[in-house]
Amino acid sequence: MSRLFFSFLIFGTIIFSSCTSKYAILDRNFETEEIAISSKLMDIEILDERPNVTSEKIRLNVISFPGQSDKVSPILNNEQEQLIIDQIESYFSDGDTEISVKCTILRGFQEFSAHTFNEREYVEFETKIELLNAAGKMMKYCTSTAFFEAKSMDANYDFIDKLYLKAIKTSIYSCFQKLDD
């Protein structure tokens, strides 16, 4: 009886610790420097150039078996688009130069795979940011990719969606960090 109890205790600890450790990724702050571009922001254009976007959600099975997997490039929804706009606006302070921003999404996907002892959630987001002058001529540009991976006993929609949002924010932040130099 005590051996069975001990086995359940160990199994429960493993499951609990894998779930809590994956959520630690969401709490890590990758935005370490303040960005303040001294220009007047006139316009933000967001282009999604991913060829394989879909409105279908990634398939996360309640019970999965090794070898099962899925990968989707979700359509940019209103929440994500507004997140991008708000983030870009926060990097500009009033200045004399008028700037427009062109944000092109080059790649962005969510991926799930099941393995013998865990389930893997992976997200990746790549953007190209262009700063354009008042005449529409490109002054500077940067590309950046952000990716995150978590392995646990149970993948879920809420976590992979939050991880995807973090990849979006991190990718855009990394570009502006380089453009602010």
CATH number for position 165: 3.40.50
Domain count, the chain: 1
Q: Say how many CA atoms lie within 13 Å of 106 toward its Cβ.
A: 13
What pLDDT score was predicted for residue 136?
92
What pLDDT shows up at residue 11? 43
* DSSP character at residue 139: E
27-60: b or e for each residue (b if 16 or more CB lie within 10 Å)? eeeeeeeebebebebeebebeeebeebeeeebeb
For the stretch 153-179, pLDDT in tens is: 888 999 999 999 999 999 999 999 999
* Alpha-carbon distance values, 133 to 84, 126, 178 (Å): 20, 23, 18
- pLDDT of 94: 81
- Could you write out the DSSP letters of every residue in 40-66? EEEEEEEEE--TTEESSPP---SS--T
Domain interval for residue 97? 2-179
Q: Which of the residues in the chain have pLDDT under 70?
A: 1-20, 25-26, 28-31
- Please, what is the angle between helix 157-179 and helix 2-27, to 10°? 30
What size, in residues, is the chain?
181
According to the model, what pLDDT value does residue 3 have?
57
If one counts every other C-beta atom within 10 angstroms of the C-beta of residue 4, the result is: 8
DSSP 43: E
